[in-house]
Amino acid sequence: MRNMRGGGLIEVKPTDITVLWGTQAELHGNLRPCPFTDETQGERADLWVEGWISLDDYFVWRVKVLEAGDYEVAVTYSCAFGPGGSKYEIAVGDSKIDGVVHKTYGWLPGWGVAWTSFEREQLNETLYLPKGVNTIKLYATTKPDRGEVMRLYTLELIPLATKSILVSAEERARRMRASTEWFTSAGYGVTFHWTARTQPRRGSMKPFPKAVRDFDVNAFADMVQETGAGYTIFTSTHEPHIFPAPIQAMERILPGSTCQRDLIGEIADALSERGIKLILYYPAGRSEGEWGKVSGWVEDRTRYFSNFCAIFREMGRRYGRKVMGYWFDFCPFNVPHHFEPLYKAAKTGNPDRIIAWNSWIIRRPTYFQEYWAGEAGDALVIPEAEVFGDLQPHVWIYLDDEWVHDKPNTDIHPPIFHTQQLINYVETCIARGIVVSMNLGIYQDGTISKETFKQMRALRKAIRGD
């Protein structure tokens, strides 16, 4: 038996969804957390459990049920590395329900299959949970001769009383959604991971506050205009969490985490003068440093939600219509309707702001968003419509560096796609209504690679005709 974070009591509330993570269970037999799991980073980093290759492998959760009743069950799993067809049971005492594992497929090739092949399946029967402490066991009853049963992400317990809550929340989300017409009309945009880790082409890296003070906004905006981009996604902060503007809600959480110059506001103004809209990338959850601890991400999710609502409201009041969207990274996967207060706070000052949550292996963690995050990396992939659901289709790729230019004394990586290959891809996406965001490597002084800039000029001519 291998036990990782297992054995602790998980409280099951009668009026909300309870998420049982695979890595919270006692793991018996060959079961093991995936290699990417990092316990120190909170729920989002737990990811999945793999190694389910035998009928002797099983999961056990200990739960404290506050109110006896029937609960619907949803299982989020991947079966991209097995043939499918395994049968399994979930048992609490004499109450049992069963399911059949279906083959799943990832929308990204290569390494991306592991991340993008998870699907959520709600079982037809209900599981009766007596009041008090119970043991929930998940095990396979049959499996093919080869391959895994499944890779388990979560098991959800859904009290019947929550149905009306979920339906009304989804209806509210659809009513609050802003139009994405301008985003679709833009066709494509460029993005930049300019952060406290960004290196100059040569020499020593400046302290981030000085790099913020020295950033040439007009030169940057001119460069963006030359790419033909209809919008820009600018990384407002990453790891470490230092924000290039004086946001007091952040300073209250961690002093020294902001800058005096409002670089975000100045970039927004300069882009607006050139007819280009600004979307902000913001890592709304997991952080590997001190920020993750003091913000509440790691240990206190209630405090975390409160802190980020305050941040979003202040940013919304400061920027108004200067910021037309957010792309939130490190999605705080919990349950769909828990995103509502964050979504409302992110709309402060501009109800037309469009939102995406980067959910990684959860294709759509909430209905409180307008467009699909679509992080595709170095893959020129065109996901099927079922992946987007009812969200605005969108993909995000990088053209040279892998997101951030963080290696000292090095040139930005040469373009990884042939120019005509990129043009054909963008044209195909636009024809299908899929918006394409392209990340360009950027040095600390705000300049980019001449080779990538040349490629973008060719793309502009092919798509815009000028």
Could you report the per-residue pLDDT of 144-194, keeping only the tens digit for each?
Answer: 999 999 999 999 999 998 988 999 999 999 999 999 999 999 999 999 999
377/446 same-domain check: yes
In this prediction, residues 264-287 reach a mean pLDDT of: 92
Using DSSP, state whether 423 is helix, strand or coil: helix
Is residue 222 one of the residues assigned to a domain?
yes
Tens digit of each residue's pLDDT (9 = 90 or more) over 382-396? 999 989 999 999 999
In the predicted model, is pLDDT for residue 84 greater than 60? yes
What is the distance between the alpha carbons of residues 367 and 312, in angstroms, rounded to a whole number? 19
Specify the CATH number for the domain of residue 390.
Answer: 3.20.20.80
365/426 same-domain check: yes
- pLDDT recorded at residue 3: 45
Is residue 167 one of the residues assigned to a domain?
no
- pLDDT recorded at residue 367: 92
What is the distance between the alpha carbons of residues 253 and 299, in angstroms, rounded to a whole number? 15
134/208 same-domain check: no
> Pairing mode, if any, of strands 435-439 and 394-398?
parallel
Say which residue the tokens 């790891």 belong to.
Answer: 239
- Cβ–Cβ under 8 Å, residues 93 and 134: yes
Is residue 343 one of the residues assigned to a domain?
yes
255/341 same-domain check: yes
- pLDDT recorded at residue 301: 73
348/393 same-domain check: yes
Is residue 65 one of the residues assigned to a domain?
yes
248/354 same-domain check: yes
Is residue 171 one of the residues assigned to a domain?
no
Beta bridge partners of 63: 10, 134
The domain tally of the chain equals 2
111/206 same-domain check: no
In the predicted model, is pLDDT for residue 304 greater than 90? no
In this prediction, residues 441-453 reach a mean pLDDT of: 98
Specify the CATH number for the domain of residue 82.
Answer: 2.60.120.260
Tens digit of each residue's pLDDT (9 = 90 or more) over 44-79? 446 899 999 999 999 999 999 999 999 999 999 999
Say which residue the tokens 């968003």 belong to.
Answer: 369
Name the pLDDT band for 42 (thresholds 50, 70, 90): very low
231/152 same-domain check: no
23/54 same-domain check: yes
- pLDDT recorded at residue 288: 63
112/187 same-domain check: no
Choose the final residue of a domain: 99, 132, 161.
161
Is residue 168 one of the residues assigned to a domain?
no
Choose the final residue of a domain: 161, 185, 220.
161
Choose the final residue of a domain: 126, 161, 196.
161
Structure pTM? Answer: 0.94
Say which residue the tokens 């913020």 belong to.
Answer: 212
Is residue 198 one of the residues assigned to a domain?
yes
DSSP state of 148: -
Q: Provide the residue range defining the domain that includes 154.
A: 2-161
Tens digit of each residue's pLDDT (9 = 90 or more) over 327-367? 998 765 567 888 999 999 999 999 999 999 997 788 888 99
- Residue 280, both tokens: 């902000």
323/387 same-domain check: yes
